[in-house]
Amino acid sequence: MCGIVGYIGKEDAKEILLQGLEKLEYRGYDSAGLALCNEKGITVIKEKGRIADLRGAVPLDIQATIGIGHTRWATHGVPNKENAHPHQSESGRFTLVHNGVIENYHLLQQTYLQQVQLKSETDTEVIVQLIEKFVKDGMPTEEAFRHTLRLVHGSYAIAMLDADEPETIFIAKNKSPLLLGVGKGFNVVASDAMAMRQVTDQFVELHDQEIVFVRKNEMMITTLDGTIIQRDPFTAEIDMSDIEKGTYPHYMMKEMDEQPGIIRKISQQYEDENGELTIDTAVLKAIMNADRLYIIAAGTSYHAGLIGKQYIEKMAGIPVEVHISSEFGYNLPLLSEKPLFLFITQSGETADSRQVLVKVKAMGYPTLTLTNVSGSTLSREADYTLLLHAGPEIAVASTKAYTAQLAVLAIIAYVTGKAQGKVQHFNLKKELAITANAIQTLVDAKETFEEIAHEFLATARNAFFLGRNLDFYVSLEGALKLKEISYIQAEGFAGGELKHGTIALIEEGTPIFALATQQAVALNIRGNVKEVVARGAHACIIAMEGVEEAEDRFILPHVHELLTPLISVIPLQLISYYAALQRGCDVDKPRNLAKSVTVE
Ligand code: F6R
């Protein structure tokens, strides 16, 4: 959460920084700011709201070749101009942007800054005021920077300007993501490579507790205690068309439309030279060595994990537990003798999941990350990584990453099952190809889902998603999609469980979306729908060909029963999209959210 950029070179910094912040807006979008440094000194411009608001506030005639910028997702203090970054020290000499949370900021303020009048409610301001205090006490800037970071507990990605040393950007990283970008006659910093891809494709990774002094023609990476580190750049394989919206009205629509192609691409990426599905042999070995898999994830990725458990248990015969990452780390269950931890995370940066990774690694257990972002923190820190190959997902609501997670989880389960002789008479590659075609049919039927959204949700205050078996897990995801982008309160429920209390909420006109794709429970879910319809609910049944009935509102094309989650989620994504649009919501950037949740 929060995005950071910095530029030092020869060009006009403000445009490069603003473009970078626009690419980082998915990380937070409640306020934003820039600090631009030229011969007249440092100018700070901040605005509440989006980058577009900041852009409007930046004077066109200001020229600067050095600058830092920030887009915020508020943690400490409401989103307003005062709490927006950059923050400045009392004298204005130091200017700093920060992503992360300083856990001991209050103690630091009490201990060192009693005499300083803070201007904001943020934890960040304490860092910049501390640096100035130590400089006033006689330390050179570099030493004061290091000294402050040694005192700070928590997560941070920091970029700082010193008005007295304007040829350097001071950088530090711990737990929050930050990359250096290398150019000819300039250097940049950014929370991710997409933000600076327009000026360079050469990036240098930073590790936790590293400090960097970035100048126009050089950058020096050191540890907190001053040891110099040499690290080569890597080439960021990002296609600019992947991060542009093109002719689409929203990233979410573009990303939903990409799903058939992604499923086909995943099939190819996980193919061996004989065209058979495969996964890295070291990963396969690690899975087969385990007596139990522990899937750790949050939000949509957690929902994918619930389905992954079914795949792995059914195809590979290995027991799986699925845990919400923010709970797991602080309430460890009894572990099996030979566990393997599987982290599912689109971004690879989710702090809740990462704290579990750090803990279980310290306990000596093997770890595997399933992520969309190669080189992300959870990918680098786990023993093994498998990639989703979904391309950058920019809309805050996850769509294509979810279906990609399901496809790769199915491949993991299938390949493991085959290696153990447990999968027979089932050709996953063929079934995935059929599934990709079915997804295409569904994304081509947009108008129907627009009509359904209008019919069922135009005036709705709440909604229920019902399913049994695999459909239940998809209904959890459907409810999350609807609430996060349309702000309609929604709950995903196991069809049979509703009558044990929650049915009390059903009243005349309550919208119900029921999935019926599973043969074994098709009659049961229909019975559950009848129970709520009898109490006034307005039911939209989405069933699969083969189990359909006259009462159904939409029939999904037939796919293998295990792969139904990949198709039944598509109508729910599209219905949520249109419901949000019809209510005038900002589909790509829903209120209060951020794409990459890098605080616990
Ligand atoms: C919802 C959504 C979130 C994320 C969650 C975990 O649409 O995207 O629920 O799934 O914040 O993020 P990752 O997968 O990046 O760890």
Q: Whose CA is nearest to atom 6 of ligand 1?
A: 298
Top mutation candidate among 371, 398, 476 for ligand 1, by most atoms within 8 Å of CB: 398
Q: How far apart are CA 232 and CA 180, in angstroms?
A: 11
Top mutation candidate among 27, 296, 342, 346 for ligand 1, by most atoms within 8 Å of CB: 346
Q: Catalytic residue, from 133, 216, 483, 595: name it.
A: 595
Q: Whose CA is nearest to atom 9 of ligand 1?
A: 299
Which helix (H) or strand (E) segment holds residue 420: the answer is none
Ligand 1 pocket member 176 (CB < 6 A) = no
Structure confidence at residue 600 (pLDDT): 78
Q: How far apart are CA 204 and CA 57, in angstroms?
A: 32
Ligand 1 pocket member 298 (CB < 6 A) = yes
Per-residue pLDDT of the chain (600 residues; tens, 9 = 90+): 799 999 999 999 999 999 999 999 988 889 999 999 999 999 999 999 999 999 999 999 999 999 999 999 988 899 999 999 999 999 999 999 999 999 999 999 999 999 999 999 999 999 999 999 999 999 999 999 999 999 999 999 999 999 999 999 999 999 899 999 999 999 999 999 999 999 999 999 999 999 999 999 999 999 999 999 999 999 988 877 788 888 999 999 999 999 999 999 999 999 999 999 999 999 999 999 999 999 999 999 999 999 999 999 999 999 999 999 999 988 999 999 999 999 999 999 999 999 999 999 999 999 999 999 988 899 999 999 999 999 999 999 999 999 999 999 999 999 999 999 998 889 999 999 999 999 999 999 999 999 999 999 999 999 999 999 999 999 999 999 999 999 999 999 999 999 999 999 999 999 999 999 999 999 999 999 999 999 999 999 999 999 999 999 999 999 999 999 999 999 999 999 999 999 999 999 999 888 878 777
Structure confidence at residue 232 (pLDDT): 95
Reference 573, options 320, 400, 381; nearest CA is 400
Centre of ligand 1 from the C-alpha of residue 401, in Å: 9
Ligand 1 pocket member 300 (CB < 6 A) = yes
pTM equals: 0.89
Structure confidence at residue 239 (pLDDT): 79
Q: Which residues contact 508 (CB under 8 A, 6 or more apart)?
A: 536
Ligand 1 pocket member 377 (CB < 6 A) = no
Q: Is 501 exposed, middle or buried (0-12, 13-18, 19+ CB in 10 A)?
A: exposed
Q: Which atom of ligand 1 is nearest to the CA of 350?
A: 16
The rounded radius of gyration (Å) of the Cα atoms in the chain is 25
Ligand 1 pocket member 405 (CB < 6 A) = no
Neighbours of 424 (CB within 10 A): 7
Structure confidence at residue 307 (pLDDT): 98
Q: How far apart are CA 18 and CA 259, in angstroms?
A: 30
Structure confidence at residue 86 (pLDDT): 98
Ligand 1 pocket member 484 (CB < 6 A) = yes
Strand order, beta sheet including 31-38: 41-48, 31-38, 66-72, 3-8, 187-190, 179-182, 202-205, 234-235
Ligand 1 pocket member 71 (CB < 6 A) = no
Q: Which atom of ligand 1 is nearest to the CA of 299?
A: 9
**By the 8 A CB rule, do 525 and 498 touch?**
no
Ligand 1 pocket member 350 (CB < 6 A) = yes
Centre of ligand 1 from the C-alpha of residue 90, in Å: 38
Q: How far apart are CA 176 and CA 596, in angstroms?
A: 10
Q: Whose CA is nearest to atom 8 of ligand 1?
A: 398
Structure confidence at residue 597 (pLDDT): 82
Is 2 designated active site? Answer: yes
Q: Which atom of ligand 1 is nearest to the CA of 402?
A: 10
Centre of ligand 1 from the C-alpha of residue 158, in Å: 24
Centre of ligand 1 from the C-alpha of residue 399, in Å: 10
Is 400 designated active site? Answer: no
Q: How far apart are CA 168 and CA 453, in angstroms?
A: 53
Q: How far apart are CA 253 and CA 133, in angstroms?
A: 50
